[in-house]
Amino acid sequence: MPDDIRIDDLIHPVLDDFQKAARAYGDSLDLDFTVDGILAQAREATGLDDFGPDDFLERLGLLVDEWSSDEGLTGIGRLSLLNKLSLFARSRLLIQDHLKKHPEVHDVEIERPIIVVGLPRSGTTHLLNLLAADSRKHSLPLWESYEPLPMPGEAPDPDGVDPRYQRCADEWKAIQQSSPLLAAMHPMDPDHIHEELELMGPDYASYNFEWLSMSPRWRDHYYAHDQTPHYVYMKTVLKILQSRKGAGRWVLKCPQHLEQLPVLRATFPDATIAVTHRDPVSVIQSAVTMLAYGQRNTRKRVEPKRLVEYWSDRVEHLLQACVRDRATLPESQSIDVPFHEFMADDMAMIEQIYAKAGDELSEATRAELQHFVDTHPRGKYGRVIYDLEGDFGVDPDELRERFAFYFDAFPVRRER
């Protein structure tokens, strides 16, 4: 097992040769970071020109304006954000084209999904990937979430490897070079089971954009608008994927659902929802450490104070909504998953979730899940030492007082 990892240069990074070269490359680029440029590139790449309803242009325009004017970004940071917006534009064209050719997709039923809901860094990823180890279930691997449909004319290579999978693998390899400790915090290999909010990307929706870069203008726009249309869009893309996979029960996950529980329930009324709970201070500590580590590449300076302020506000907003709306989930279709209980015995918690979902946990399925547990131990890639006070100058106990309302509402264990 790798040793514990202390990132001594978290706030004042010492760049290696690869990171320096990547920075220099990014700074040399003359990027067309405009809505027209993004749409033109997507049309040229796909040979398609129908983006569907044009309401997305307001949201895309807001992101372009906020990000292109951010003087704190490095060139490689700007390139990364532009590439993400361009990828979503291509996917939007492909999705619209598929729906026009296959209108029967709208009749596909997404039945009785199991949906994991909880703060980021609260065990949701492990729980989702464990549930997805059940081969009877449909899930969303990272490579498919990034590109739900292939580019025109694409097909697997002679070895059966999908070009979308290969692109995702190549991207992960590059990320491991530029951010070698990321795997210890949040592995993003192609087979990693990812969040369905990625499927809202082609509609230029979801709070995912805040993880790519702190975006207060985008956040405020998101807060001010009903997210139901974007959940419907996401569900439509799931229908496309299911029409290609065949019948099956989905396992899904997204922290954003915490502040969208009524919308989630309206979109998936027969879902079983597992709500994870963890000390929010530990969540913030983990999240801002991971984000600060990424900023050595994407921003000219790491911004520890801004990170803590931004994500403390976001976590509070998520939890206030959860406390407000948790009771709207029917007891027969929901279960709370305390982090400390799940970490102590993950298979025991799985048994409770399967029972709640009315699903059989056969010996064959137990073996599949246990194999995942055995081959994915905590700390497989090393254990990062998180230090909110030492790295960010924040007293954990003082920050924890802000979340007394959450500790009062749920059986959450305070962590050191």
Domain assignment of residue 73, yes or no: no
Contact residues for 218 (Cβ-Cβ < 8 A; gap 6+):
62, 63, 66, 209, 210
Residue 376 lies inside a defined structural domain of this protein: yes
Number of independent structural domains in the chain: 1
* Banded model confidence at residue 320, pLDDT cuts 50, 70, 90: very high
- Confirm whether 382 is domain-assigned: yes
Indicate whether 248 belongs to any domain: yes
| CATH classification of the domain holding 200 | 3.40.50.300
Residue 80, C-beta contacts closer than 8 angstroms, at least 6 positions apart: 212, 298
pLDDT of residue 17: 95
Residue 187 lies in a domain: yes
- pTM, entire model: 0.95
Q: What is the pLDDT of residue 183?
A: 82
Q: Name the band, by pLDDT with cuts 50, 70 and 90, for residue 247.
A: confident
In a domain, residue 42? The reply is no
Q: For residue range 370-406, what is the model confidence (pLDDT) as tens digits?
A: 999 898 887 777 889 999 999 999 999 999 999 999 9
Q: What is the model's pLDDT at position 2?
A: 56
Confidence grade of residue 1 (pLDDT, cut at 50, 70, 90)? very low
Give the structural domain span for 287.
Answer: 4-16+112-409
- DSSP bridge partners of 338: 277
Q: Which of 89-93, 182-186, 314-318 has the lowest mean pLDDT?
A: 182-186
Residue 187 banded pLDDT, cuts 50, 70, 90: confident
User: pLDDT tens across 32-47, in order?
Assistant: 999 999 999 999 999 9
Residue 215, domain member (yes or no): yes
Query: 85 lies in a domain?
Result: no
| 312-342 exposure pattern, b = at least 16 Cβ within 10 A, e = fewer | bebbbebbebbeebbeebeeebbbbbbbebb
Can you give the pLDDT at residue 31?
96
